[in-house]
Each structure stands twice: as structure tokens, then as C-alpha cells.
Structure 1
Amino acid sequence: MTLRLQLRDYRLTTAEILYRLPDHPALLQTYIWQNMDMAPSFPELRRFLDFWTRSLDGRLHSVRVAQQARLAVPSVRHAGAWLTIH
């Protein structure tokens, strides 16, 4: 399913959502959302944020979005160090 979405230009999208706590509006809380979505319109993220504003009490402060590159080849790296903690 993921490959099929990637072929349609969907990519793994992560959004860091900052919102105000309903009982303490001066405090901000973080929520991390992750799903397959398509830039630049982000229909899945917009659907989620619409649900948030309709259904949840925490007022949105800001949203920061990052996306994975298109069809990236998986990479393997060797560990630079091996540590043992007793």
C-alpha cells in the first residue's frame, strides 16, 4: 500500500502541532502527527486539522511540517561506536 501511494506522489509526512492547553492557555503542548500525504496541498493533514478545530478543545498555535524524499532507497549504516553500560 505504501509503494502504491508513493507512486501517486504521496510521501511520509510528519507534522509537529503546537496547541494551547484548554485549562491553561498560556502553556503549549506538542502533538506529533505522521501519515502518508501529498505536498503541497496536504489533504490528509488538512483533514486532520479540520477535525482538530471542530472536535477538540486545545486551540492550535502552530504546525511545522516535514516530508520524506520521494522513493528513497533504504540505507544501512554501521555503528560508529559500541558502548556497554553496566
Structure 2
Amino acid sequence: MTDLARQLRDYRLTTAEILYHMPDHPALLQSFIWQDLDMAPHYPVLTRFLDYWQRNLDGKLHSVKLATQGLIAPAEVRLVAAELRLH
């Protein structure tokens, strides 16, 4: 499926900051930024990625911060209180 088709199906640009413990130094945290189109509120793409991380990578997850933004939205309408014309 193309990105445009996914956006029309209400997928949104999703960015996650993933903090994880470094495998060799568990007391230290490292940051990883992940970004993809995903569907709120269940975020299936991010969930699959985090499941993969926990099964296959050594760095234990600490926390995930999430931000999302719809890229395709209805036009914003503003009402005008007055109209001035110059001739």
C-alpha cells in the first residue's frame, strides 16, 4: 500500500522516542528515534516493532514517548468579521 493510500485510511505520521538500557552498561540509557505511518490509538506498526525489539535485541526497553500528527486533514475555515475593498 502506498503512503498516500495509508494516509487516506487515517494513518498518521508517528514518532516514538525509545529509551533503552545499553546491553553492556545497563545503568546507562540510550535514545532511539523511530518514525513511520501508523494508526492511532492502537499503533499496530509500532507495536510490531517493539515486539520485535523485545524478542531479538539485547537492550531492555525503559520507556517510549509518542507523538502523532495527521498529515491529511480537512481545510481550516476562518470566519472574517469584515471585508475591506480598495479600488
SS at match of 1:49: helix
Query: Which one has a bigger Cα radius of gyration?
Result: 2
TM-score by length of 2: 0.79
Aligned equivalent of 1:10: 11
Partners of 2:71 and 2:17 lie apart in 1 by 20
Match of 1:84 in 2: none
How does the TM-score come out when normalised to structure 1? 0.80
Identity of aligned residues (%): 66
SS at match of 1:71: coil
The one-letter code of the counterpart of 1:65 is L
Number of equivalent positions: 73
Structure 2: any 5+ residue segments left out of the alignment? 75-87
Spell out structure 1 runs of 4+ moving beyond 6 A: none
- Post-superposition shift, 1:69? 2.6
Q: CA RMSD in A?
A: 1.3
Query: What is the CA-CA distance between 1:65 and the residue it aligns to?
Result: 0.6
**CA distance in 1: counterparts of 2:4 and 2:54, whole angstroms:** 31
In structure 2, the partner of 1:51 is 52
Ranges in structure 1 where 5+ consecutive residues have no aligned partner:
74-86
